[in-house]
């Protein structure tokens, strides 16, 4: 199994090019199932999750062609299968996003229930309820969601009692091909939702007010192909900026989307960093400045993203003062805390809050990555620890960060990928 060995004590400086967003690219690739015409996606990050998605689409019978390292063409003209198997769904929860498109276009779909995962139970009841309200008949049997509908799905008003990114995406895709008007109430407002709506509209959909909590979709009979560039990854950007702040460096993220990152940039400024932005770049300068702990409460967008929580826990460990980080989205998203404690961090867990008593002198240790962002927090903690940190189970990292060690090394880090 591969591991990362991080030699601590380096300072990050320079430019890093941000990749396309995993959480935008995945729904976009699944949206290709809605059209019989070829769809081209550009600025696609090179990630394990993208490979999994391509495999899933191929297993359904779509033609997937890698046009260049960052561009993929998907042609779902005719499909040979309507089933997303447990084998693939268990490795990537976003596979649930085949449900809406398959049902809307072909009238049937079978998708394995994803099951719980490291960060929480993550049920899919909102996806299922919403599609049922649109006229689908859905049974859960043998661990599979089996959905069908006679004729087209029917537009309706759907109120989701929890704000869910995935449910909003699944229902928005299904509604794009439904008959009549669908109103999604209490919809998620993440930038990735807006990216998906923009792409669907390029394909001929009629989706209005994506980015607000009430999305209105006028269903159309058919969608065409597209040529669409994926939004930059705000979580990858945030991770590099936190790493720069912790190491006292100066880093410019290029090909970024500053306007998607207000909550994170404001916390970095509160932590003492100088942050400047252009249209598509963000620079963080921490040289000669003191790092202060910050209090954080995760919330749906435009609140502070749960996917940046672990990185800020790492930041608070080495910053001055006490910072309280409260996780409000997922019930079990503090698995990085015991690992950071093994590196010397002073953190107390109180219900859904991590109280970090700062100024910890971290020391390198062998640590275990348990999920994607927890892994990222251990890597950036390793950058400031004394000695070597060995991060195990880095397949989690490879799901969501493109060549993280190469990008960090180009900024001055010293990280090696080893086998065994
Ligand atoms: C591929 C992708 O885009 N993943 C992101 C997406 O995950 P994902 O779309 O899975 O997360 P959701 O927004 O759906 O989850 C938010 C909350 O709603 C709950 N819930 C969700 C669906 C449902 O049917 N019932 C229900 O109760 C979840 O358990 C969770 O507590 O949004 C999360 C929250 O910003 C991010 O951390 C993930 O990185
Ligand atoms: C939780 C995440 O992803 P996923 O929803 O794919 O598990 C994440 O990107 O941090």
Give the pLDDT band (50/70/90) at residue 49: very high
Q: For residue 314, what is the DSSP state?
A: H
Quick check: CB of 126 below 6 Å from ligand 1?
yes
In short, whether 167's Cβ falls inside 6 Å of ligand 1 is yes
Q: In the numeric block, which tokens belong to residue 159?
A: 């109120």
The partner residues of 66 in beta bridges, in order of sequence, read 72
Ligand 1 centroid–CA 300 distance in Å is 9
Confidence (pLDDT) at 133:
98
Average pLDDT over residues 331-340: 96
pLDDT at 96: 97
List Cα–Cα distances, 128 to 135, 140, 147, 148, 356, in angstroms. Answer: 11, 10, 9, 12, 39
pLDDT in tens, 306-320: 999 999 999 999 999
Cβ atoms < 10 Å from Cβ of 77: 11
Whether the model clears a pTM of 0.90, i.e. scores above it, the answer is yes
Identify the pLDDT of residue 420. 80
pLDDT given at position 262: 98
> Quick check: is 117 catalytic?
yes
* Average pLDDT of the segment spanning 357-372: 92
> pLDDT category, 85, cuts 50, 70, 90?
very high
Question: Residues of 239-256 as b/e, b for ≥16 C-beta within 10 angstroms?
Answer: bbbbbbbbbbbbbbbebb
Residue 369 pLDDT > 90: no
DSSP state of 336: H
Ligand nearest to the backbone CA of 120: 1
- What is the DSSP-derived secondary structure letter of residue 229? E
Whether the pLDDT of residue 1 is over 90: the answer is no
pLDDT-derived band at 3 (thresholds 50, 70, 90) equals: very high
CA-based Rg of the chain, rounded to a whole angstrom? 21
Query: Would you place residue 73 in the very low, low, confident or very high pLDDT band (cuts 50, 70, 90)?
Result: very high
Q: What 3-state class would DSSP assign to 241?
A: helix
Residue 1: Cβ-neighbour burial (10 angstroms; 0-12, 13-18, 19+): exposed
The 10s digit of each residue's pLDDT in 129-156 is 999 999 999 999 999 999 999 999 999 9
192 CA → ligand 2 middle, Å? 13
Instruction: Indicate if the pLDDT at residue 332 is higher than 90.
Output: yes
pLDDT (0 to 100) of residue 202: 98
How does residue 299 score in pLDDT terms, banded at 50, 70 and 90? very high
Confidence (pLDDT) at 243: 98
Instruction: Tell me what pLDDT residue 360 has.
Output: 77
Which whole number is the average pLDDT over 343-351? 96
Q: What is the DSSP letter of 298?
A: B
DSSP designation for 80: S
Per-residue confidence (pLDDT) for residue 116, from 0 to 100: 73
What share of the chain in percent tops pLDDT 70? 100
**Dihedral angle sign, alpha carbons of residues 167, 173, 177, 180:** positive
Over residues 54-71, mean pLDDT: 98
Mean predicted confidence (pLDDT) in 414-420? 94
| Mean pLDDT for all residues in the chain | 97
Q: Which residue has the tokens 């004729």?
A: 151
Q: CA-CA distance, 370 to 377, in Å (whole number)?
A: 11
Which ligand 2 atom sits closest to the C-alpha of 119?
Answer: 1
Q: What is the mean pLDDT of residues 242-256?
A: 98
The answer to whether the CB of 195 is under 6 A from ligand 2 is: no
What would the pLDDT profile of 91-107 be if each residue is shown by its tens digit? 999 999 999 999 999 99
Q: Which residue has the tokens 């990537």?
A: 92
Place of tokens 């976003």: 94
Q: What is the pLDDT of residues 200-241, one digit of tens each?
A: 999 999 999 999 999 999 999 999 999 999 999 999 999 999
Q: What is the pLDDT of residue 239?
A: 98
Measured by CA distance, the residue closest to atom 18 of ligand 1 is 164
HSE-up of 412 (CA within 13 Å, CB side)? 18
In this predicted model, which residue has the larger pLDDT, 118 or 296? Answer: 296
The pLDDT of residue 115 is above 80: no
**What is the band of 358 on the pLDDT scale with cuts at 50, 70, 90?**
confident
Closest C-alpha among 184, 193, 180, 185 to residue 219: 180
Q: d(Cα 331, Cα 327) in Å, to the nearest integer?
A: 8
CA dihedral sign of residues 383, 385, 391, 395: negative
- CA 312 / ligand 2 centre spacing (Å): 17
Give the pLDDT mean for 41-66: 98
The answer to whether the beta carbons of residues 372 and 397 sit under 8 Å apart is: yes
From 39, 117, 149, 226, active-site residue: 117
Beta carbon of 165 within 6 Å of any ligand 1 atom: yes
How many angstroms separate the CA atoms of 211 and 209, rounded?
6
Task: Identify the band that residue 82 occupies on the pLDDT scale cut at 50, 70 and 90.
Answer: very high
So what's the pLDDT on residue 405?
Answer: 97
């Amino acid at each position: 199994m591969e591991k990362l060995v991080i030699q601590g004590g380096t300072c990050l400086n320079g430019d890093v090019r941000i990749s396309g967003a995993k959480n935008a690219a995945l729904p976009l690739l699944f949206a290709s199932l809605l059209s019989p015409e070829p769809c081209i996606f550009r600025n696609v990050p090179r990630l394990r999750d993208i490979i999994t998605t391509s495999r899933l689409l191929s297993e359904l019978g779509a033609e997937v062609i890698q046009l260049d390292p960052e561009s993929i063409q998907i042609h779902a003209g005719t499909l040979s299968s309507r089933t997303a198997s447990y084998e693939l769904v268990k490795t990537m929860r976003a596979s649930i996003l085949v449900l809406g498109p398959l049902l809307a276009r072909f009238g049937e779909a079978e998708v394995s229930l994803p099951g719980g995962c490291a960060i929480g139970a993550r049920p899919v009841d909102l996806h299922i309820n919403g599609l049922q309200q649109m006229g689908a008949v859905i049974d859960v049997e043998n661990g599979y969601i089996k959905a069908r509908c006679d004729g087209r799905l029917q537009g309706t008003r759907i109120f989701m009692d929890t704000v869910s990114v995935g449910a909003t995406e699944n229902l928005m895709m299904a509604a794009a091909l439904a008959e009549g008007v669908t109103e999604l109430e209490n919809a998620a407002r993440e930038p990735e939702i807006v990216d998906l709506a923009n792409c669907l509209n390029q394909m001929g959909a009629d989706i209005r007010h994506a980015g607000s909590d009430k999305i209105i979709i006028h269903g159309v009979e058919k969608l065409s192909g597209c040529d669409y560039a994926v939004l930059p990854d705000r979580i990858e950007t945030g991770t590099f900026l936190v790493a720069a702040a912790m190491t006292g460096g100066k880093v410019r993220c290029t090909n970024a989307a500053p306007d998607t990152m207000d909550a994170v940039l404001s916390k970095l400024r509160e932590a003492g960093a100088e942050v400047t932005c252009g249209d598509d770049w963000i620079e963080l300068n921490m040289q000669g400045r003191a790092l202060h702990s910050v209090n954080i409460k995760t919330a749906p967008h435009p609140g502070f993203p749960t996917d940046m929580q672990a990185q800020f826990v790492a930041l608070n460990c080495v910053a001055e003062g006490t910072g309280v980080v409260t996780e409000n989205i997922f019930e079990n998203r503090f698995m990085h805390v015991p690992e950071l404690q093994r590196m010397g961090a002073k953190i107390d867990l109180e219900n859904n809050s991590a109280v970090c008593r700062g100024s910890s002198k971290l020391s390198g240790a062998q640590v275990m990555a348990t999920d994607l962002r927890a892994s990222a927090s251990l890597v950036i903690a390793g950058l400031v620890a004394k000695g070597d940190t060995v991060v195990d189970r880095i397949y989690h990292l490879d799901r969501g960060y493109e060549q993280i060690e190469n990008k960090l090394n180009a900024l001055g880090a010293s990280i090696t990928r080893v086998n065994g």
